[in-house]
Amino acid sequence: MSIQNRLLIIYTIIFSMAFIVFAVIVYELPRSRILAQIDGDLKALATEVVQPGSLPEVLETFETASTLVIVADENGEIVARSRNLTMFNDLLDPTAGPYEESVSVVRHGSTQLRVYTVPLPGSDEQDPHYYLQVARLLDTYEQLNRVSLTALLMGFAAATASLFVAVLLTPGLFKPLEDMATAARQITRADDLSRRVPYANRPDEIGDLARAFNQTLERLERLFRTQQRLLADVSHELRTPLTTIRGNLDLMRRMGETDPQSLAAVQVEIERMTRLVGDLLLLARADSGGLPLERKPVELDYILFDVYRQVRILEPPVQIELTAVDQATVLGDADRLKQLLLNLVENAVKYTPPGGEVTLSLSKKEGWVYFEVSDTGIGIPPENLPHVFDRFYRVDKARTRAQGGSGLGLSIAKWVAQAHGGAIRVSSQVGEGTTFSVTLPLYSQQTDSTNEDDLDQEKTRPSLRTLGANFRR
């Protein structure tokens, strides 16, 4: 059953219950109150009538009043009646017994009476048994019935009209959902993720749903395009080394002997393919959540010195300087953090012309660690800055490929920074250089005592100034 039909059933049940409650309140409660008041008046009157010597006087007083009184014997014969009782020749309540008290509503033609029957005291076994019937015309009660009936009819009309309006409005309320479902099915059939569902500008819940659905479509479209670009870039990246390897193998086959230069070229391309496949595997495992990270205190300053030393050993054609290094500890994976720093430093060295300068700095402030890599390279155009962390994105594709880059280093660096609760940003000026800034949360542990092994380690640990001086030699 559809939600629309279920809502209609719920509306029907609610309106029906509301009408029943309304009928009880409008009819039963006033009716019970009026009858209770009439019964009280009749009993009071009966008590006054049955007093010795008061019956003839009381009967004379009822001449034009709406209260009727009769006295009958046990055989149902009327022995006395009030003077205003001219329209009835029979008992006021023929069903009432002479030996017990009773109250009932009796209809005589078009007239309704509330009759109270009570035995008269003082009768003995030799005398006939008499009983008294006191009644009152239910004119007010009749008016109440008419008012109640009118109110019930109005309530029924209101409930019916409300249900009718609900039946008319419900399809209209569900029409946006049906349109959104139709648009979603069309998007699925056409495989066109660029389309969007309507009603995204509405300020209500349907608008929120449409906006959320459109955001999902936008994300899917972006992921789909990224996947397409990734496949195209991977195919392009693998085609070049495979073409080189095949060409050198064909050359050696035609020559009939091994060519050292061809073997060296094949080795270079194989290493490049190996790096590319390794980086792709790393990012794929990271995207799927299958790449675990250690969570241990890591001294980032020592990792920075290790990266600095590793890059200096390669004797790059640029000058690398450590401008400021603070002792900073972060919680994370030492290998991945080293990979982050190494990727940024190698990227800066790679894109800085010979004779340029690359500076490294590590500082901490207000619970955060700041690592910066600045170079004096040619810089990155402003239109390319938002895409430098995209996979296989290159500002200069030909130059990067000639330098052996895979276009995944910055993507890996961004993932490592975010996986450690940090962020990475880039700023650049064309012709002046580029600066990559990494922000990581500082790890701090409050302890009251220090382990003896830690004390020994502090004693044997060289100062940062000494390490920096040694690395600069």
Query: Residue 144 corresponds to which tokens in the numbers above?
Result: 């109440």
Q: Which residues contact 409 (CB under 8 A, 6 or more apart)?
A: 279, 343, 346, 347
446: confidence class by pLDDT, cuts 50, 70, 90: very low
% pLDDT > 70, the chain: 81
Interval 381-415: pLDDT, tens = 988 888 888 877 766 654 444 454 567 889 889 98
pLDDT tens string 86-97: 666 788 888 888
Structural domains of the chain sorted by starting position, each given as residue range(s) with its CATH number in brackets: 3-146 (3.30.450), 205-288 (1.10.287.130), 296-472 (3.30.565.10)
Q: What is the pLDDT of residues 293-332, one digit of tens each?
A: 889 999 999 999 999 999 988 888 899 999 989 999 999 9
Q: How far is CA 208 from CA 308, 381, 470, in A?
A: 51, 38, 61
Residue 248 has pLDDT above 70, yes or no: yes
The residues pairing with 362 across neighbouring beta strands, listed in sequence order, are 325, 371
CB 42 within 8 A of CB 134: yes
Chain segment 327-363, per-residue pLDDT in tens: 999 999 999 999 999 999 988 998 899 999 999 999 9
pTM of the predicted model as reported, rounded to 2 decimal places: 0.50
Q: How far is it, in rounded angstroms, from Cα 167 to Cα 185?
A: 27
Does position 456 have pLDDT exceeding 60, yes or no?
no
Mean pLDDT taken over the chain: 78
CB 130 within 8 A of CB 74: yes
pLDDT value of residue 390: 82
Q: H-helix or E-strand containing 130?
A: strand 130-137
